[in-house]
Amino acid sequence: MKRIKWSSELLPTTAYLDNILKQERYKKRYRSLLASTVSVLTVVAAIAILVATLLLPVLKIYGSSMTPTLEEGNIIFSVKGMEMKRGEIVAFYYNNKVLVKRLIAFPGEWIDIDDTGYVSINGEPLDEPYLKEHAKGDLNIDLPYQVPEGKYFVMGDHRSTSIDSRNTAVGCVAEEQLVGRIVFRVWPLKKAGRIR
């Protein structure tokens, strides 16, 4: 067996060892920072998903039943758990879809629609400044119509094309079907803002 002679030329210098030590410390700090960043981003993403699912569902509009208020491709926020008022826009589940219409009448109220499409609730004309047109639309219910208990009467703003509570295909909306009130449009950016 050969003996190896060590000389001072073969031994690492202090500067070399300091440099290796600095590199190892940097790698350790980098891994720690990366792990904490990934953890924070994961928590933020989970919170955002929970908020979007439970409190502020984000919806995309399909179809033209709510034009001109909402148009196809608009992206909107809805808010759950707030008291609804007549004339507000609501989202609700219907046949594995989410539909968006305007709340017109509450449980127990009587609704009537004349031949020109003007609506009255309990004999009083309904003021609808959001409409560009009035139309009787696709109606197959007997008028005047009393909204059943625990249900809401909804209509689209584009009355001539909207299929809504005026037709038994959709009918009145039960409380458990409601997703929430539509409050804010986020897309397109030029129309972003509160929805009325």
**Catalytic residue list:** 65, 101
Residues with Cβ within 8 Å of residue 128, at least 6 apart in sequence: 87, 119, 134
Asked if the peptide bond before residue 129 counts as cis, ω within 30 degrees of 0, the response is no
Instruction: Specify the 3-state DSSP secondary structure of 78.
Output: strand
Burial class (CB in 10 A: 0-12, 13-18, 19+), 138: middle
Residues 71, 182 contacting (CB under 8 angstroms): no
34-68 burial string, b = 16+ CB within 10 Å, else e?
eeeeeeeeeeeeeeeeeeeeeeebebebebebbbe
Report d(CA 119, CA 165) in Å as an integer: 13
Residues 78, 92 contacting (CB under 8 angstroms): no
